[in-house]
A and B are shown apart, each in its own frame.
Chain A
Amino acid sequence: MMALARAVAFRLLVAALLAYLLFPFYYAVITSMKGGSAIFSVDYWPSQIDFSNYARIFSEQPFALNMLNSVLVAFAVVALSLLLGLTAAFSLGRIRFRGRNALLFAVLAVSMFPQVAVLSGMFELVRAFGLYNSLLSLVFSYMIFTLPFTVWVLTSFMRELPHEIEEAAIMDGAGPWTLVVRIFLPLLWPAMVTTGLLAFIVAWNEFLFALTFILSNEQRTVPVAIALITGGSEFELPWGGIMAASVTVTLPLIVLVLVFQRRLVAGLTAGAVKG
C-alpha cells in the first residue's frame, strides 16, 4: 500500500514537473494559432488552427530576412570561433610553455566580463571599423562570448588524447598545421560539434549587442525583431504575431537540442565537473 502511494506520488511529481517545463512553450504554440479576437479569451486547449499570424509576420515584417541574418551571423560565429579555438587549444593542450595556465585563466576571466562593461568601447570600435548597422559588427563582437568557452572545452578534450598520437606523426616529419588538421581535427569532431552547437545557440540568442549595433529593420537579427514587434495600432494586441515569431525561431532550436542532447549535455558539464 505504501509502495503504491509512493509510486503514485512520484508519478504526480513527474507530471507536475513536465507541465511546468513544457507548458509555456505549448501555450505559445496555441496562442500563435489564434486569429482575430480569439486572442482575448484564455484557452487551455487549442481552440482554433489559424496560420494568419505566421503569414503576417512574413508579409508585414521582414521576418524572413531577420531569420536569414541570424543564420548568417550564427554560422560565421561558429566557423570563426572553432577555427581560432582549435588552433589555440592545440597550443594550450599539447605544448608545455611558461604562462600557459595564466593564459587559460585570463581567457576564463573574459567570460566573466559583464557584457555592458565593454558596450561603450565596443560601440566606438564598431563605428571606427565602419561596421555600424552591419551584420559583421555582430560576428566580430560575439567572439567575446564564444571564444572563452570554445578554447576551454577544446583544450580539455585535446589534453585527454594520448601522447603517442602526435609523436608518430612528428617522427614522420609532420608540421604543426598538418598535425592539427590531419590528426587532431578528426579526433576532436565530437567536441567540435558540441562547442559549435553551443556557439550557435549563443549567437542565435544574443540580444544586447544586436539591439545596440544594428539600426535598420532589415539588418536585425531575430531576438531583436521579436522584442520590437508591436501591434498595428494602440488597440491591437500584437501577441499572436509575437508568439508566431517565437515559435518559428524556437522550433528549429528545440529540434537541434533534442537531436544532439547527449553531446550538448556532455559539453555543458565538461568544464564545470572536471574543472
Chain B
Amino acid sequence: MAAAAHDSLTRARVRTAWLFLAPMLLVLAIVALWPLARTLLLSLTDASLGNAGAARFVGFENYLVKEDGVWYGLLADPLWWLALRNTLTFAFVSVAAEVVLGTLIALILNARFRFRGMMRAAVLVPWAIPTVVSAKMWAWMLHDQFGIVNDLLLRLGLIGAPLAWLANADLALWSVIAVDVWKTTPFVALLVLAALQMLPEDCYEAARVDGIHPVKVFFFVTLPLIRPALIVAVIFRFLDAMRVFDLVYVMTGNADATLTLSVHARQILVDFQDAGSGSAASVLLFVVIALLSVLCLLAMRGEVLGRRQ
C-alpha cells in the first residue's frame, strides 16, 4: 500500500519534471535543432536565400561533384581548404598562446602583492569589452598610417617602415590572432586561477622546506595538479576558436588571408545569396567541429581513466 503510494508519487514527480522541462526543450528545439536540420536539408538543394521554395534537390553537388571530368563543389574549391587552414592555424596558435599567457597571469594573480585587487579587476576588462569593440580598437591601433603600434615600433627602432598589419597577407592572420589572444586570455587565466586556489597548501610547504626551486615546483607539482583545469580550458577555447567570426569579419572583412570557415560560409550564404552552397559550407564547419569535439571527449576520457589508474 505504502509502496503503491510511493510509486504514484514518484510518477507524479517525473511527470512534473517533464512538464517543467517542456518550455525550455521546446524553445531549444525551435532555435537549435530545427534550423540545423533545415540547414542540412538546404545544403542538398540549389536554393537561393530569398526563395527557398523554388529549390531543386541536387544531392551532394554543393559538396563535391564530377562533371565532364572536372571536380566541382566546396571540397574541390581551394578557397574552402584555405579557410580550413586559416581556421586551424587561428585556433591552434591563439589557444596555445592563451594557455601559456593565461597560466602566467593566473600564477601572478595567485601570488600575494599589493596591487592584486587592481590586477584582478584589470584582467576582466578585455573580457568585458564587446568583440566588435575590441576588433575596432585594435584595427585603429594597427592602422598602417596613423596607428600607434607602428609609431611605437618605429620609435623603438624595431621596424624600418610602417607595416600594413591588416592589409598585408603575411601579417593579417597573425594580427587577428594577437587580438584574440588579448581578448580571451583573461578567460583562461580565470579558469586556471580557480584551479590554483583549490590546490592544497601542504605540498608547497614541503617543497619550500626542501628548498626546491620555484620553477621546478611549478613543473613538477603545480602543473600536474592543474592539468584537468587546463584541459577543460583548452577544449572550451579551441572549439570556440574554430567558429571565430566577429573578430575576423570586423577587422579584415572577407579577405582571403584571414578567411575562416565561418566567414566563408556567411559570405556564400548572405553576400552571394546562395543558400544551397552556403548551407553546405555551414554543415562542413559543423562536421569539422563535431569531429574535433568527439576527439576532445575521447582525449578527456583517456585523461580521466589515466588518473584513476
Report A's interface with B, CB cutoff 8 A.
10, 13-14, 17-18, 20-22, 24-25, 27-28, 31, 39-42, 44, 84-85, 87-88, 90-92, 95, 97, 103, 107, 109-110, 112-125, 140-141, 143-144, 147-148, 151, 176, 180, 201, 204-205, 207-208, 212, 222-224, 226-227, 237, 239, 242-243, 246, 249-250, 253-254, 256-258, 261, 264-265, 268-269, 272-273, 275
CB-contacts of B267-309 with A (<8 A): 269-270, 275, 278-279, 281-283, 285-286, 289-290, 293
Residues in chain B near residue A114, CB distance under 8 A:
242-243, 261-262, 282, 285-286, 289
Residues in chain B near residue A207, CB distance under 8 A:
131-132, 245-246, 249-250
The 8 A CB mask of B106-133 against A (1 = contact, 0 = none) is: 0010010101001111111111111111
Contact B245 A272 (CB under 8 A): no
Whether A201 touches B128, Cβ cut-off 8 Å, given contacts A118-B32, A147-B28, A250-B133, is yes
Most interface-central of B131, B194, B279 (chain A CB within 10 A): B194
CA distance A242 to B130 in the complex (A): 13
Whether B161 sits at the interface, judged by CB under 8 Å, is: no
Contact A143 B262 (CB under 8 A): no
Contact B13 A95 (CB under 8 A): yes
Residues in chain B near residue A264, CB distance under 8 A:
124
In addition to A119-B266, A253-B129, 16 A-B residue pairs with Cβ atoms within 8 Å of each other are A10-B111, A14-B108, A14-B119, A17-B105, A21-B125, A24-B126, A24-B182, A116-B245, A120-B279, A121-B34, A176-B20, A201-B128, A208-B266, A237-B146, A239-B143, A273-B195
Most interface-central of A91, A176, A212, A268 (chain B CB within 10 A): A91
Whether A258 touches B124, Cβ cut-off 8 Å, given contacts A91-B16, A117-B39, A125-B35, is yes
Closest 10 CB pairs of A and B: A121-B35, A121-B38, A88-B24, A118-B35, A269-B194, A114-B243, A91-B17, A223-B132, A117-B286, A95-B17
CA distance A275 to B241 in the complex (A): 21
Q: Report 9 cross-chain contacts, Cβ distance below 8 Å, ordered by A residue.
A: A14-B119, A18-B119, A87-B24, A115-B262, A116-B281, A119-B35, A124-B52, A250-B129, A273-B194
CA distance A161 to B113 in the complex (A): 36
Q: Identify which of A44, A239, A272, A273 contacts B140 (C-beta below 8 A).
A: A239
Residue of chain A at shortest CB distance from B150: A42
CA distance A221 to B13 in the complex (A): 42
Whether A112 touches B289, Cβ cut-off 8 Å, given contacts A10-B113, A120-B39, is yes
CA distance A20 to B102 in the complex (A): 13
Most interface-central of A87, A121, A144 (chain B CB within 10 A): A121
Residue of chain B at shortest CB distance from A223: B132
Contact A116 B191 (CB under 8 A): no
Whether A112 touches B239, Cβ cut-off 8 Å, given contacts A90-B20, A120-B269, A257-B124, is yes
Residues in chain B near residue A151, CB distance under 8 A:
24
Instruction: Report the minimum CB–CB distance from B188 to chain A (whole Å).
Output: 10
Q: Number of B residues whose C-beta is below 8 Å from A? A: 94
Whether B58 sits at the interface, judged by CB under 8 Å, is: no
Q: Identify which of A10, A117, A243 contacts B282 (C-beta below 8 A).
A: A117
- Give the number of residue pairs across the A-B interface with Cβ within 8 Å: 266
Q: Identify which of B24, B38, B138, B293 contacts A120 (C-beta below 8 A).
A: B38
Contact A119 B269 (CB under 8 A): yes
Whether B227 sits at the interface, judged by CB under 8 Å, is: no
Instruction: Report the minimum CB–CB distance from B215 to chain A (whole Å).
Output: 13
CA distance A275 to B34 in the complex (A): 28
CA distance A189 to B281 in the complex (A): 42
Contact A205 B132 (CB under 8 A): yes
Residue of chain B at shortest CB distance from A24: B137
CA distance A180 to B20 in the complex (A): 10
Residue of chain A at shortest CB distance from B283: A117
Whether A42 touches B151, Cβ cut-off 8 Å, given contacts A95-B17, A151-B24, is yes
Whether A147 touches B137, Cβ cut-off 8 Å, given contacts A110-B32, A116-B266, is no
CA distance A5 to B293 in the complex (A): 46
Instruction: Report the minimum CB–CB distance from A7 to chain B (whole Å).
Output: 9
Residues in chain B near residue A242, CB distance under 8 A:
136, 140
Whether A265 touches B129, Cβ cut-off 8 Å, given contacts A31-B140, A124-B52, A227-B136, is no
Instruction: Report the minimum CB–CB distance from A6 to chain B (whole Å).
Output: 10
Whether B219 sits at the interface, judged by CB under 8 Å, is: no
Q: Identify which of A110, A123, A205, A265 contacts B130 (C-beta below 8 A).
A: A205
Q: Identify which of A20, A107, A117, A246 contacts B182 (C-beta below 8 A).
A: A20
Whether A91 touches B20, Cβ cut-off 8 Å, given contacts A13-B108, A119-B266, A208-B245, is yes
Residues in chain B near residue A121, CB distance under 8 A:
34-39, 42, 279
Most interface-central of A31, A39, A90, A113 (chain B CB within 10 A): A113
CA distance A121 to B38 in the complex (A): 5
Whether B31 sits at the interface, judged by CB under 8 Å, is: yes
Residues in chain A near residue B281, CB distance under 8 A:
116
Residues in chain B near residue A117, CB distance under 8 A:
36, 39, 282-283, 285-286
Instruction: Report the minimum CB–CB distance from B277 to chain A (whole Å).
Output: 10
Residue of chain B at shortest CB distance from A255: B128
Whether A14 touches B115, Cβ cut-off 8 Å, given contacts A24-B141, A87-B24, is yes
Contact A147 B128 (CB under 8 A): no
Residue of chain A at shortest CB distance from B147: A42
